[in-house]
Amino acid sequence: MSGSRLLYSECLRIYKVNESFIESLHEIGLIEVVDRDDDRFIEYDDLTELEQFFRWHYEMDINAEGIDALRHMLQRVRSLQSEIEQLQEELRFYKSLNP
């Protein structure tokens, strides 16, 4: 975390989202809400992913649990793509040894 934070109330105002939706994301561990000195904050580092969650929720009507599943699935796909690329590199290497 960079340490830079956005006030929770500003996040609600800027993105025009329901507090209950952000709370549901926080409850299932998708975002971190920091409590400091009677204020609540969201880390700037989390905003890109949070914006994606907002789009999935408001444009595609996906609830917080669905977002969690979708995020997990996309992480798994990226991991598998990386593994495939690594294996392809290894295969190219071994093929280059036996022309």
Place of tokens 């830079």: 4
Confidence of residue 98 (pLDDT cuts 50, 70, 90): confident
pLDDT of residue 2: 53
Is the Cβ–Cβ distance between 1 and 45 less than 8 Å?
A: yes
Domains of the chain: 5-97 (1.10.1660)
Tens digit of pLDDT for each residue in 9-65? Answer: 999 999 999 899 999 999 999 999 999 888 999 989 889 999 999 999 999 999 999
Using CA atoms, how far residue 4 sits from 1, 10, 21, 36, 57, in Å, is 8, 14, 22, 13, 25
Question: How many residues make up the chain in this entry?
Answer: 99
Confidence of residue 76 (pLDDT cuts 50, 70, 90): very high
Confidence of residue 74 (pLDDT cuts 50, 70, 90): very high
pLDDT of residue 37: 87
Helices (H), the chain: 8-15, 19-27, 47-60, 64-97
Q: Token digits for 80?
A: 């598998």
Question: Can you give the pTM of this predicted structure?
Answer: 0.79
Pairing of strands 33-36, 39-43: antiparallel
pLDDT of residue 3: 65
